[in-house]
Chains A and B, each alone.
Chain A
């Protein structure tokens, strides 16, 4: 015999990945976003210390209300990023769908009310833009970065056309305008909507062939193709779902603001993509998850809210925001740092 032996002679019990319960726990913990949760807890404690109102029920409701729109968006964005693609179109889709929705709901510009059909039309618009991006990306093999940049502007263009030169359309229905703030079981409806989107995201990613296919493609698209996965269809579906969720976020944002604007999604892209990345969703695909990204959104919103409540001078706010964020990111990525690991 001329090969290496091993101190545990192989008899079937010596293989290295026998997962006895403690190890299984460790494996589960390894994939849990502990750094993220720790960062949020530490920030919450510090902010409460700085201003006790931070921890008040009122502020928690405020936070949940503010987090709702980016949370809905980030679910779709994360799915696309996990697939190894990217969706830049969120702001455009939000603008188009938000405008479509408000113009079909009771508003100050047009005397119409299509009721639920406003929702259907606005969501269909988002779905359509997502489908368009997905089809061009998957079938014509155009990089998603470019395609969704295109659909961003298409969406914005639709929003501007709908906006026209006329009056700013504002919601005239008190019921609709108040719906996002109204509390159900102590939590704003806006957040319930976001929670539903998050639930949908979890369901898709964990319990559907689509979700698992997204992960497989994100891990290795070549193998996924060789294994006979319908790569193109999965990609198209993923972008469609992302478009749908952006549209939902556009409707909610419009409702929250009480009036329509093609710019309703303004700034969301640079909330959700950093949130996803901070939370450990690799832009190269395959890793991370919607829950992590949701925590990332929480972190960003909470940080901003906390700084305002702590009364940080506006001149310093951006700088302090960045500094805390860097520290939080270090905490988040601490468990992931590895030898010679290349960070990009």
Chain B
């Protein structure tokens, strides 16, 4: 259709450098009313910087930005918000100890008489929040504490916050969703997709994701960034997944080949009739060296809790855990580690790493190996071990002494994985959403390491992000429904089930 209105967003020759690095290099683009534009690119391609410029956090070195036809210059996040640019951050930016209404209100500039007197006008805040929530068709009580919400609901709150602004007559709000699906379960992702389609009616959307199939499904147009530049800017109907992949990594997509079935050996880890009140009951499984078992289930199926119990991080109410065929009493994390178990948690930042500590120290944390002699650390050896992993896993930046918090999510995950792969006698690798929030390149490296560990004789228990991931990697799939055993597939032996079959077993 022909559009009489000026584009919602027009960027002309935007540049932003950090020292010698051109993070955003001469980017020009337009986004029209009601358009959903996918933005993809590997970590470090310049997406984040571009988003920060749009959100008023960074200022461009040169170039012009127009919103709804008017040139704008943001001096801070508030300016961007007032101009109608709402960002749903990758790292959620809600105050978890405040109510939904208050979080939505942080953006709005309406001020009543009460508020000018320094008081909280709960009536106005709740009313406006209810209106914003209704606008996107979400039924949440504005007085609920955000900390009590699930991730998807928190994202709904962020979206409501983004659209509650009224940038002025005839102007269209621009909602930026920065990897919203990274932390969502599959079912929640569907809800989000539906919400995004609804947003079209009154807003334009920039949707950032690492998952190409999501982009293909949701977006009207896709922009690929690579090395700070626009590599592709095409309607979605004109591209295929492979095109996008090539545009991102500037190389060929190498699909992973299914491995042959591992030799039948005695199970290294076996769970018998594990139960935990409210989470799962009577779950049994076993893994042999070299075998990959995927635990699949919808949110609340108990997969995560099961894995945590197997690692000893949560207590089980019943059942047994056997290591090398022997039952272990009073299972705990220490015993699990001693038995050669490793656990890569989904909550990487809070449970998987010590953010302020250097990468070297993080790698040496659990199994210092030659990095320590008795109670003493040997920094030189430790650094050599870390450098080895950095090279093998292509961690960027290649600085083993930088605190881990300074690395991007994908690179953090590599370090977390290295910490466990460093174990001298790694027997079982427990992976809870190992690819969550990782870009394609980092994901491939992590997958390669998982396979290498398998080939070296480790067993893997995996909770994948998607069913495809399970089908691609696993030898066996255990499907859980509402905490109970639903189905079990031996992919190597009995042939692969279809996605539809697995979905049917999940619900």
Question: Which residues in window 137-182 of A have CB below 8 A to B?
Answer: none
In the assembly, what is the distance between CA of A19 and CA of B100, in Å?
A: 13
Which residues from B are CB-within-8-Å of A286? 95-97
A32 to B: closest C-beta gap in Å: 13
Q: Does B489 contact A (CB under 8 A)?
A: no
In the assembly, what is the distance between CA of A340 and CA of B189, in Å?
A: 27
Which residues from A are CB-within-8-Å of B102? 212, 216
A91 to B: closest C-beta gap in Å: 29
Q: Does A18 contact B (CB under 8 A)?
A: yes
Q: Does B370 contact A (CB under 8 A)?
A: no
Q: B152-185 interface mask toward A, CB cutoff 8 Å, 1 = contact, 0 = none?
A: 1100100000000000000000000000000001
Q: Is the CB of A2 within 8 A of B299?
A: no
Q: Is the CB of B119 within 8 A of A220?
A: no
Task: Say whether, besides A4-B186, A17-B144, A208-B120, A223 and B152 are in contact (CB < 8 Å).
Answer: no
Q: A215-B95, A216-B95, A219-B98 are in contact. List 17 more A-B contacts (CB 8 A).
A: A3-B186, A4-B187, A6-B187, A6-B299, A15-B138, A15-B152, A18-B140, A27-B144, A209-B115, A209-B118, A218-B97, A219-B95, A219-B96, A220-B95, A223-B94, A287-B97, A339-B314
Q: Does A5 contact B (CB under 8 A)?
A: yes
Q: Does A226 contact B (CB under 8 A)?
A: yes
Q: Is the CB of B148 within 8 A of A4?
A: no
Q: Does A7 contact B (CB under 8 A)?
A: yes
Q: Is the CB of A227 within 8 A of B118?
A: no
- Identity of the chain A residue whose Cβ is nearest the Cβ of B157 in the assembled complex: A17
In the assembly, what is the distance between CA of A210 and CA of B118, in Å?
A: 7
Q: Is the CB of B507 within 8 A of A6?
A: yes
- Identity of the chain B residue whose Cβ is nearest the Cβ of A206 in the assembled complex: B120
Q: A206-247 interface mask toward B, CB cutoff 8 Å, 1 = contact, 0 = none?
A: 111111100110111001101111000000000000000000
Count of chain B residues with a beta carbon within 8 Å of a chain A beta carbon: 56
Q: Does A12 contact B (CB under 8 A)?
A: yes
Interface residue from A4, A12, A17, A224 paired with B298 (Cβ < 8 Å): A4
Q: A10-30 interface mask toward B, CB cutoff 8 Å, 1 = contact, 0 = none?
A: 101011111100001001001
Q: Which of A7, A229, A286 has the most CB of B within 10 A?
A: A7
Q: B269-304 interface mask toward A, CB cutoff 8 Å, 1 = contact, 0 = none?
A: 000000000000000000000000000001100000
Q: Is the CB of B187 within 8 A of A208?
A: no
- Identity of the chain B residue whose Cβ is nearest the Cβ of A225 in the assembled complex: B77
16 A-B pairs (CB sep. < 8 Å): A4-B298, A10-B194, A16-B299, A27-B144, A30-B148, A207-B120, A209-B119, A215-B98, A216-B95, A216-B98, A220-B95, A223-B93, A226-B93, A228-B76, A229-B106, A340-B351
Q: Does B57 contact A (CB under 8 A)?
A: yes
Q: Does B481 contact A (CB under 8 A)?
A: yes
Interface residue from A6, A27, A207 paired with B119 (Cβ < 8 Å): A207
Q: Does B313 contact A (CB under 8 A)?
A: yes
Task: Say whether, besides A16-B153, A17-B153, A6 and B93 are in contact (CB < 8 Å).
Answer: no
Q: Is the CB of A16 within 8 A of B120?
A: no
In the assembly, what is the distance between CA of A319 and CA of B506, in Å?
A: 55
Q: Is the CB of B120 within 8 A of A209?
A: yes
Q: Is the CB of B190 within 8 A of A18?
A: no
In the assembly, what is the distance between CA of A24 and CA of B100, in Å?
A: 14
Q: Is the CB of B120 within 8 A of A212?
A: yes
Which residues from B are CB-within-8-Å of A109? none
A7 to B: closest C-beta gap in Å: 4
Q: Is the CB of A6 within 8 A of B298?
A: yes
In the assembly, what is the distance between CA of A286 and CA of B147, in Å?
A: 11
Q: Does B213 contact A (CB under 8 A)?
A: yes
Q: Does B499 contact A (CB under 8 A)?
A: yes
- Identity of the chain A residue whose Cβ is nearest the Cβ of B192 in the assembled complex: A10
Task: Say whether, besides A210-B118, A227-B77, A340 and B313 are in contact (CB < 8 Å).
Answer: yes
Q: Is the CB of A6 within 8 A of B186?
A: yes
In the assembly, what is the distance between CA of A16 and CA of B148, in Å?
A: 10
Task: Say whether, besides A15-B138, A27-B148, A219-B97, A3 and B153 are in contact (CB < 8 Å).
Answer: no
Which residues from B are CB-within-8-Å of A226? 57, 76-77, 93
Q: Does B468 contact A (CB under 8 A)?
A: yes
In the assembly, what is the distance between CA of A209 and CA of B118, in Å?
A: 6
Q: Is the CB of A12 within 8 A of B141?
A: no
Q: Does B191 contact A (CB under 8 A)?
A: yes
Interface residue from B78, B144, B467, B481 paired with A7 (Cβ < 8 Å): B481
B387 to A: closest C-beta gap in Å: 30
- Identity of the chain A residue whose Cβ is nearest the Cβ of B154 in the assembled complex: A17
Question: Which residues in window 182-209 of B have CB below 8 A to A?
Answer: 185-191, 194
The 8 closest A-B pairs by CB, nearest first: A4-B186, A6-B187, A228-B78, A7-B507, A16-B150, A17-B153, A219-B95, A227-B106
Q: Does B466 contact A (CB under 8 A)?
A: yes
Which residues from B are CB-within-8-Å of A14? 191
B158 to A: closest C-beta gap in Å: 11
Q: Does B329 contact A (CB under 8 A)?
A: no
Q: Which of A2, A6, A340 has the most CB of B within 10 A?
A: A6
Which residues from A are CB-within-8-Å of B185? 4
Q: Is the CB of A2 within 8 A of B467?
A: yes
In the assembly, what is the distance between CA of A292 and CA of B139, in Å?
A: 31
Q: Does B308 contact A (CB under 8 A)?
A: yes
Task: Say whether, besides A17-B144, A27-B144, A4 and B120 are in contact (CB < 8 Å).
Answer: no
Q: A239-265 interface mask toward B, CB cutoff 8 Å, 1 = contact, 0 = none?
A: 000000000000000000000000000
Task: Say whether, besides A17-B140, A223-B93, A211 and B120 are in contact (CB < 8 Å).
Answer: yes
B59 to A: closest C-beta gap in Å: 14
Which residues from B are CB-within-8-Å of A24? 141, 144
Q: Does B137 contact A (CB under 8 A)?
A: yes
Q: Does B149 contact A (CB under 8 A)?
A: yes
Interface residue from A27, A31, A227 paired with B78 (Cβ < 8 Å): A227
Which residues from B are CB-within-8-Å of A30? 148
Q: Is the CB of A10 within 8 A of B191?
A: yes
